[in-house]
Structure 1
């Protein structure tokens, strides 16, 4: 199995706040989204762009994945944001308001034309009804390596606004939209990160929503406050017991006498070979989290 990159906790940081950008280098999030879009007022857009690109070029973020969210191409700031972000060479550029596969492919071409390094990937915000309806077509672009598409980010607040759905406990109004995007991500080998939880002082509610996202198949969750990182990292990481059992499954299936067997009994449980594949991913992500 190829190495995996943990994306349990993905923290938004406002690009206009220089202190926040500096603090980002010390926060235990797996990924940071340095935001030029929603978190930045119109009169601070240029300042944010300059601060974010300078911070990315300066580095010092350690193993944290660094993503720049740009303004949309039809806004007054979008074109300059994208060009500056491409030159800065972050781990990824997050595209807002993705609506169709052409948005991904045009962004990928623009990255190539701007001379962006090969490691710079594309992440796509799924935050409108049209994006949900086109999820299969959007994520299908990942089949082509030239698309650079690596992850989807759910914009649940924007989906609620556009659909007039209410964000209530348990998110019944969001489950269909979330599940459609999880299916698309898994179909084409792309990661998917859940939307934010707005009440950052409600630890119990936040934990419950993290657990729901994990159980739906999300790789992690976007966050609006550093205080949410610890709970998020815990929930989206496999437990010690899960990792230990996964290692045992792999060990048993790797025995020569079990090479042709499709199912085995391990610790009183019937385990199929598909569970061995799942176990290998569990171990791989646990090793990646540990920095192995």
Structure 2
């Protein structure tokens, strides 16, 4: 069966901060996103790009298990072409593209990248157009530069729509679930948006639980103190692992050969539940392998 890469936490790290970049590999996040966009002032863009390239090389040399992604500046900015050239040459695990509103935006990025560039793309879903039709973005395929992940950008979405970011996120839930359904229809991953109040640990934990219940693979975070909470929320619990262990191989038993439904722990279990249990166990194994 295919392996699973844990993406419980994806930590944004400003490309303009040498101190933060140096600490990034040791903070426990599954993914580190080196940010050249929102976290970097215009005057610092060139220096941040150079530091990000150096950081990718340092991760590679150290053999870090952390997935490293670089977020470029947006299409239409004066920095996008230099960003794309430098990131493609550095070969991080993925290139994150902000403010992707339609499939044509991905086509423009692919056209700007050099013909020999080959790396996965991640797309930010953070504009009204994007949440109206995330499926066209998620299914915009390319073998050389495949789209691998959608990432919710709820702060930009709130700014552009006037939507209030309230506990429980009721005004935004339809957009979140539409984007999630688009990702799953396309067979790609999806990460939940950030939680802004670093001091509100209870609120962050509640939003992580909601994101896990909704089906997200993990959560983007803006501070190292949020990493452990996201990792815990998006990892299978001991009870889930125990139950999945009982379900995963139940249809391999001789007495269940040919059956479509069996009883486990007093509950009806179908073959699709066994498939889900096997995936959960692979995720647990991948998390354990990270240490």
Question: Hey, what's the Cα distance between the residues in 2 that align with 1:77 and 1:279?
Answer: 45
Residue 187 of structure 1: aligned partner: 185
- With over 3 angstroms needed to count, the CA separation of the structure-2 counterparts of 1:286 and 1:109, relative to structure 1, is farther
Query: In the alignment, does 2:215 pair up with 1:235?
Result: no
Residue 68 of structure 1: aligned partner: 70
* CA apart distance, 1:107: 2.6
Question: Hey, what's the Cα distance between the residues in 1 that align with 2:172 and 2:56?
Answer: 34
Query: In the alignment, does 2:219 pair up with 1:221?
Result: yes
Residue 247 of structure 2: aligned partner: 249
Secondary structure at 2:140 match in 1 = helix
Question: Hey, what's the Cα distance between the residues in 1 that align with 2:63 and 2:227?
Answer: 16
Query: In the alignment, does 2:209 pair up with 1:207?
Result: no
Residue 127 of structure 2: aligned partner: 128
* CA apart distance, 1:80: 0.3
Residue 16 of structure 2: aligned partner: 16
Question: Hey, what's the Cα distance between the residues in 1 that align with 2:273 and 2:90?
Answer: 41
**What is the correspondence of 1:109-120 to structure 2 with a 5 Å cutoff?**
109-111=111-113, 113=115, 115-116=116-117, 118=118, 120=119
* CA apart distance, 1:109: 4.4
Q: CA RMSD in A?
A: 1.3
1:169-201 alpha-carbon deviations (Å, 9 max, x no partner): 111111011011000001011100000000011
- Structure 1: unaligned runs, 5 residues or longer: none
* CA apart distance, 1:112: 5.0
Secondary structure at 1:47 match in 2 = helix
Secondary structure at 1:261 match in 2 = coil
**What is the correspondence of 1:39-188 to structure 2 with a 5 Å cutoff?**
39-59=39-59, 60=62, 62-111=64-113, 113=115, 115-116=116-117, 118=118, 120-142=119-141, 144-188=142-186
Residue 26 of structure 1: aligned partner: 26
Q: How many residues align?
A: 288
Secondary structure at 2:204 match in 1 = helix
- With over 3 angstroms needed to count, the CA separation of the structure-2 counterparts of 1:290 and 1:166, relative to structure 1, is same
Question: Hey, what's the Cα distance between the residues in 2 that align with 1:154 and 1:255?
Answer: 42
TM-score, normalization: structure 2? 0.96
Report if the CA contact (8 A) 1:25-1:61 is conserved: no
TM-score, normalization: structure 1? 0.95
**Segments of 4+ moved more than 6 angstroms:** none
- With over 3 angstroms needed to count, the CA separation of the structure-2 counterparts of 1:199 and 1:110, relative to structure 1, is same
Of 124-133 and 99-108, the range deviating more from structure 2: 99-108
Secondary structure at 1:141 match in 2 = coil
Report if the CA contact (8 A) 1:153-1:192 is conserved: yes
Residue 38 of structure 2: aligned partner: 38
Question: Hey, what's the Cα distance between the residues in 1 that align with 2:75 and 2:101?
Answer: 12
Report if the CA contact (8 A) 1:108-1:122 is conserved: no
Question: Hey, what's the Cα distance between the residues in 1 that align with 2:266 and 2:112?
Answer: 55
Question: Hey, what's the Cα distance between the residues in 1 that align with 2:111 and 2:188?
Answer: 19
Report if the CA contact (8 A) 2:248-2:277 is conserved: yes
* CA apart distance, 1:247: 1.4
